[in-house]
Structure formats: structure tokens, C-alpha cells
Structure 1
């Protein structure tokens, strides 16, 4: 009997050794039996920098980890990300649907998180109809109105600039998507959206909840000791459901009462009038509308916060941009989106703000659908692919002196945009999962930067003793790389600037 046992063991050993020889993986931390790299995997805002350091340490632009049997591949340069996520997008457009997000908190409504397939394609088709670049012109007046409201708020209470940015972003999205003109940050729709975003930020952090690694835990009852995650998930699900359902159902009821609604949801529902079996399409419209706020708000807000931080640290950049604004726009009006082609300096500042401190330091993970081979490495089906946006956007071969905030890197010697310098699109994703709303977000960011710099000088705050209050420049630890709270002063640049503020309706 012992001979048979030893023989079976020897055969099993040879099979395993053979598999190891056939399946060559990229370098990475060694890991432990069973749990793999659970103890090695970094988390929080420092994770992208750790991955970047590993890339240099192991001499590879692709790093491999294995956690509880799942393979993770971190892509640390633009070429690797493009080769896999773009050129082979048919295989790398899946999404990992975690238990906390999809099964317990209701984020299966977020079509950007859906796995690649028919449902995702249907959602993307509806989204594309209302957010592709050719239709954005119709939304520009509402964008400009929202930015003008921001300018007034900054004049009244400049210390609350972060809250004002949140209100402006929420106002623009809600007015365009639902046709509701919010007057303050206390509007219930903004509150619902903010609570939903908080739920996403809490549940989407990789490795935070054990149930995502051990899915069977989702079946334990909520009253069971240690099941705090299920009780919290139930509360978060109420917030997520309300964010999607409340404004949509309100607009739907108003249309049935005969009220006019000039919005994306209003237009989409009007097209369904008189049709039968519209439940599926209505749910898709609800999901696309409800996802607009969480996908656009934080990316926009964080980029604008870092723009303000950069202006505090680089007043010379401010002055150059303001000189161009005076030359192109003059003192009698505010900048509009039609000035964009004549103000490459503002576009360069926007690009550099996205590159210097990207809101998503690692992109939303992709999932491989089938086995693949890349540069001699094996990538099994179901692997998680993480694009290290931080490393890509701080690659000194693409962007010399990457830690320096320098918008001029995007400008040619004649002052126009230098198209040989890669545009920093990585914060919006890759391949087929590239955010289709990126043009919308970039128009809002561009308009905000141009208008703030046209009206205000952004200066460092001074304390009661006359000492300059220096911002830390650090990031809050979390899924999104938001800056730590800092102070800034928004001083109207001239009497003409004050007159412009007074002229806003």
C-alpha cells in the first residue's frame, strides 16, 4: 500500500513541477502557501507607489501576485497596459464582481462595473446616445451656468471652496441628467448621490472585506457574531437604491402628470411612450442616469482640488494663464467653451492636473476572460489586471521630471498643444472600458479652470499671526487619491472681475 501511495505522490509532484515549468509568471513577492500574497499586497493611496517600486526592484513592467488562488497582474507602463487592455481588449474587458459591491450593496446597477457582455453593451449604447462628444454642445449652457454659480459662491465664502466644488459638480450633473435646477448643496438629490458615493468608496477598497475573498461568508445570517459587514451592507444598499431610484421615479411620475422635463431621462422616457414591455429599457435608463454622478463627480472634484493646490504652489503658472485669458477673452465677459481652441494654456493645465495627481491612482481592475500568453508569461482566465495609472503618468521616459507640476510639457514651442506628448487619458480607463463620459468631465474641468483663473488669483492663506499656511500636499488614504484638506484664498483680480461676478444672473 505504501508503494502505491509513494508512487501517486511522486506522480503528483512531477505533474505540479511540470505545470510550474509550463506556466511562467511575471516576477513578484514570493508569497505563502494557500494565502499567497495576502500579507504583501499594499492597500490605500500608497499602493501605486509600492507597485512602481516593485517594478524597478524586479526589473519588470508587469508584476504578479496571487491571493487565495486568484492571480493579479499589475501593469506599470503604458506599453504593457496598451498591449493587453487595448490591443487585446476582447480578452481583457471583464470586471471582477465582488460580493460586497454586487451581491450585498446594490452596485450591480453601476453599468461601468458590469462584466463584459450583452447587458454592458446595452447600457453603453444608451449612455453613448446622450454623452458622446457630438451631443455635448447642448449641455454647455448648463455647464457654464454651474461654473458661474461656483464663481459667486467663491466670492461669498471662499474658505468653503471644496463644498462649492461638490455643489457645482452635483448641480451640473443633476440638471443635465434629471432636468432639476438645484439651488444649494442641501438639495435631496445631491444628498442621495453623496451617500451613494460614500457607500461605493467604502466597499470598493480591495481586500477590505474578507467576504470578497471568501464568498461563502455572504450566506451567514446578519445576526451571527462577526457578521457586521452584512448589517453595514444592508444600510449601504438602502443608500445606493435611493440614489438610483428616487430621482428617476420622481421624473417618471412628473412626466405622467404632463409636466415638461428637458433632461436626458426625460428625453429617454419620451422615446418609450406608447411602447410595450419597456421595463428592461427603463431599468437601463435608470442605471445609466444614476451612475452619472458617482462616475463623474469625484474625478472632476479631485482634479479641480489638485488644480487649486498646484496654483498655490506655482503662482507663475497662474500668471501665464491669466495673461492669455486677458488677451483672448478680455475683461468684459467670462470664458466659454468656444474659447478652448484659443487657450491651449488652459488645456495644458487641465492635462497636467490629471497627470500630476490622477484621481484613480490605479484604474478599476479588468478581468481576463480566457487564458493568454504575453512576453513568455502565462495569464490564466479570470486573472485580475490592474493598470497602475500613477506609474504610467509618472514614467520619466514619457514625462521628464514627473513629480514636477509643469503644464508647459504639453505645449509646443509655438504655444499650441504638442500632440507628440501623450495626452493623460489613463485616469479614464483603458480599451473597451475607457470611460465614455470622459469628454463630459473634461469640458466641466476645462470651463472651471478657465473661469476661476479669469476672475480670481488663488493665494495661500495666512493665519492670525501673519504666517503663511502651507498645504501638506498629501493624499487621504483610500480608493481615490483626494488631497488632504487645505486652505486657499480666492481674491478677485480686479474691479472688472468684481463687475463680472455682479453681472452673473
Structure 2
């Protein structure tokens, strides 16, 4: 279904050979230019640079190893493209936060996903500038820390629906997580069930987002390395990606356009339930002078699911996995809920201030299982600097969020699951730095749905703590078989399918869910 970059095939591709000779003078010009003082990094090979030194998956692990060898910021060369990888929280803050206007653009190393498939029309890959600022302003009205409180009732209902499904069919917990999280986001965006080309929206979007997750990996296609070949005719050898891109672009168009037109028709008929799209269409109709256009509403709504579905699904799935592997943390959180909430009702958002350990478990899940290990890359819009190093305009800048979250100078025993690291010292905790908002990115490219995502994970976690026990499965001899911590490929780090036992904590808890 997906043809990613295969170097054994590409190096024998005549288009690649011609491209190499075409860019060779540029490469030597860039690599021998002495006016730039660039950070250290692994020694590049002639012409191709460091391309062959990057693993096909889980690149953040290699970046973290290089960070220990070369320092907080390292330099890589991908066929003449300058890439700076940040492995330090301080460096990330100095570069991507303090100079956020300089690094608010997206690089052109995702030509397939961004330009050909068309994800540059959505928020995540939209180029820095006036359009992106308008997108963020539009989304902020519905997703700021105050506005997301309007979705709390919906999120509580979703968490209880998940608990009900877990009790009725516990072995399908992975499918239940995807369905309930996905449905919650669809309801926020469109306020109703949606079908696209005869398929449920969630099923249809799963395929579209799988393509995005793989296509958005840096240099996943030859055109990502040599953008100019996108202008070559599709009948040339190696140009099959252009036909793939045409079909994938249509799939993406349908995902964004069809549900938007459904809600637009509902609003015109006067029977549209409250939702992000319905609210902004009504506002646009009431304020004819607004600069917001229908395309802006449509693509920001599509970005809700793009940015929120897989990331939240990954976080909730990782939570289940980590609770299965850390029974002590699970028990302590359950005792806290029993003490504060009791057994006659389920947790609600009003309990959040009185459940600090539950909140610490959520934060530790986000830190330990970094859902977006590298986020999405930034691009320097003008020449910049960090300490004594230069960052030339046009360079790609990547924050190794996974490496920062597992840096022993910030977090003690970073490869241990320790929720108490996020409790204050006065409460018997370690008082280590909050991982939020770092896990959601930096600067103007920070995830606009971070408040919605964090509150969703909290209510899912609190409800599961109250209702179920998550334990390893047992073999024929009655011995526990803990699941393995394995992440799939792609820019979103979703745990590979695993097995665990999900059982009701008590008859009373099951009855509460039934009510």
C-alpha cells in the first residue's frame, strides 16, 4: 500500500543518478563554504552526506546517542540539505521558543506529504506566515485552556463509554480505544456521525492518516530529497510516486470536504448540533466582514482529527500498556481515587485538583512514552544563531523530544516509570520539571489541541483507574506474561498490538458504568 524510500532501489534509479550530478556542485558549494560555523556531527559521506547513517525507524534513538557524543545541537547533511537536531531542553527553548518567529515555517523535506498529497493545507504542515497565524487564531477560540472546558461533559461521556466497552468485551481493548477516542474527536469537530465515500469517518480516516504518518517521515520518498523532480513526467522511471500522490490527494480532499459540507447543510436547515464547524459557520454568517473563509474552517476541522486522533489514541494505549507493566503505580492511583471519589460515583473533572497522583500518572505516560518523538520539523526563515554556532536560513531544525524527555540531567532514572517525579517535594515527590508543554512541541508550532488532549487522557485514565484492573495475561501454567514495550513505525509512536487482562475492580464499579 505504501512505497517508502528504498535506497537499494533508488541508487540504481537513473533519475537519482541525474539528480545527484545536478546537485553535486551545490553540495560542494554548501559543504566547503567557510563562513558558516556549524555544530559538530557525524562525518558525512561525499555527495549523500549523512543519509545512510540514519536508521529506517526510531531515528530519535540514534539522534539521542549522537547528542551525547556531539552536544546539545548537532549538524547533519542530507544531500546538501542542512539539518540541525536539538537534544537539549535549554537549546530547544533558546532556539524554538525565544526565536519562534524565525523557526515557524515547515521545511521542504516532506514534499510528498505536504505539496503533492496536499497536507500543507492543514494546520500541521501549513507554511509559516499569515495563513498559519489565521489557522491558529481560529483554533485557539475553541481549544484554549478555558474553551476546552466546554467539551468536558462530552469527554466524560466518552471515558464512560470506553469503560463500558472494556467491561463487555475486554480483549478488544485496542479497538475500543480507537473507536471511542475517534468518536469523541469527530463529535467535537462535526457534532454528528459522518460517513465518507460509504465508510465510517473513523475507518476512512484511519487509512488516510496511515498514509500521512508514513509519507511525513523525513525523506520518505525520492522527491523529498530532490523536490525538482516533481515536475518530471510520470512515465519516467521512478516517477510512480506521482500517481500515488494523485489518489492520496483525492482521499484527503474527501476526508476534509465531505463532512464539512454535511454540517454546512445541517446549519442551513437549522438542525445542526453544536460543534466546531457549526459554531464557526454560524459566526461567519453573522459577521460578514470577518476574514475567516470556509476553507479555513474546513481544514482546521480536518486538522482536529489529524492532530488529535492518533496522538490521543497512542497516549491512551500507552497508558494501558504502562499500567499493566507498573502495578504499583496503578494501585496507588486507585487508592487515591477510592479515598477522594469513593465507590458511589465515577471520577469527574471536578475531582482533578484532589487527585494529584492520577495527574502525575498522566504526565509520566506522556513523558515516558513520547507520542511524537520528533514532533514535526521546523525551518529557519532567516539566518539564526545558537551560542557560537550559525543556523543558516532554509535549514531544517528538528527537536528530539524523546531525547529531551529521557535526558538523565532533567529526569532521574529516565527509563523508569515514576509518576512521583511530577509531585512536589512537599508532598513526597521528586519535584522534577513538568513535561507539558514540551511533549506537545515548541513555539508557534506547538500542538494547538494540547489542552484538549491532556484533559482527555486524564479523564480516560481516572475512569479506568476507578473501574478496571489492568494486569498481564497468564500462560497455561498460571505465570504472568508481561507485554513488551514495542513501538510501531511512523511519526506518531503507537504501541504495537499487545495483550493484557482487563477485569472489573468490583461489582459496584461495574454497576456504576452500567448506570
Global fold match (TM > 0.5):
yes
What stretches of structure 2 of length at least 5 have no aligned partner?
1-24
Shift of 1:65: 0.6
Alpha-carbon distance in 2 for matches of 1:393, 1:418? 16
Distance of 2:150 and 2:474 partners within structure 1: 42
Structure 2 residue aligned with 1:442, among 454, 457, 464? 454
Which of the residues 151, 155, 158 maps onto 2:170? 158
In structure 1, distance between residues paired with 2:503 and 2:240: 48
Q: Hey, what does 1:245 align to over in structure 2?
A: 257
2-side partners of 1:278 and 1:224: how far apart?
A: 46
1:447-495 CA-to-partner distances (Å, cap 9, x unmatched) read 0000001000101112455443331212223322222211011111112
Which residue does 2:21 correspond to in 1? none
Q: Which residue of structure 2 lines up, in the alignment, with residue 4 of structure 1?
A: none
Matched, 1:393 2:405: yes
TM-score normalized by the length of structure 2 = 0.90
Corresponding residue for residue 279 of structure 2 = 267
CA contact (8 A) 1:356 1:394 kept: yes
| Residue pairs, 1:421-440, within 5 angstroms | 421-440=433-452
Report the counterpart of residue 341 of structure 2 in structure 1. 329
Larger radius of gyration: 1
Give 1:44's aligned residue.
57
How many angstroms does 1:424 deviate by? 3.7
Aligned to 1:301: 313
Shift of 1:87: 0.9
Does 1:282 pair with 2:294? yes
Q: Output one character per residue of 1:349-375: Cα deviation in whole Å (capped at 9) or x when no partner.
A: 011001111011112111111112222
Partner of 1:130: 142
1:95 maps to what in 2? 106
The aligned residue for residue 93 of structure 2 is: 82
Deviation at 1:68, TM superposition (A): 1.8
> Matches of 1:304 and 1:415 in 2, distance apart?
27
C-alpha displacement at 1:196, in angstroms?
2.1
Structure 1: distance between partners of 2:41 and 2:420: 36
Q: Which structure 1 residue ranges, 5 or more long, are not aligned?
A: 1-11
| Residues 100-115 of structure 1 mapped to structure 2, 5 A cutoff | 100-115=112-127
Distance 1:89 1:279, change over 3 A: closer
Cα shift at 1:32: 2.2
Once the two structures are TM-superposed, the CA of residue 194 in structure 1 deviates from its matched residue by 1.5
TM-score scaled by length of structure 1: 0.91
Question: Aligned ranges for residues 397-408 of structure 1 at < 5 Å?
Answer: 397-408=409-420
Deviates more, 1:150-159 or 1:369-378: 369-378
Retained in 1: the 8 A contact 2:31–2:80?
Answer: no
**Aligned-residue CA RMSD in angstroms?**
2.3
3-state SS in 2 of match to 1:176 = helix
Residue pair 1:346, 1:450 contacting (<8 A) in 2 also: yes
CA contact (8 A) 1:344 1:417 kept: no
Residue 66 of structure 1 pairs with residue 77 of structure 2: yes
Aligned length: 486
Which residue number corresponds to residue 495 of structure 1? 507
Aligned partners of 1:473 and 1:483 also within 8 Å: yes
- Deviation for aligned residue 1:192: 2.7
Q: Secondary structure at the match of 1:122?
A: helix
Deviation at 1:41, TM superposition (A): 2.7
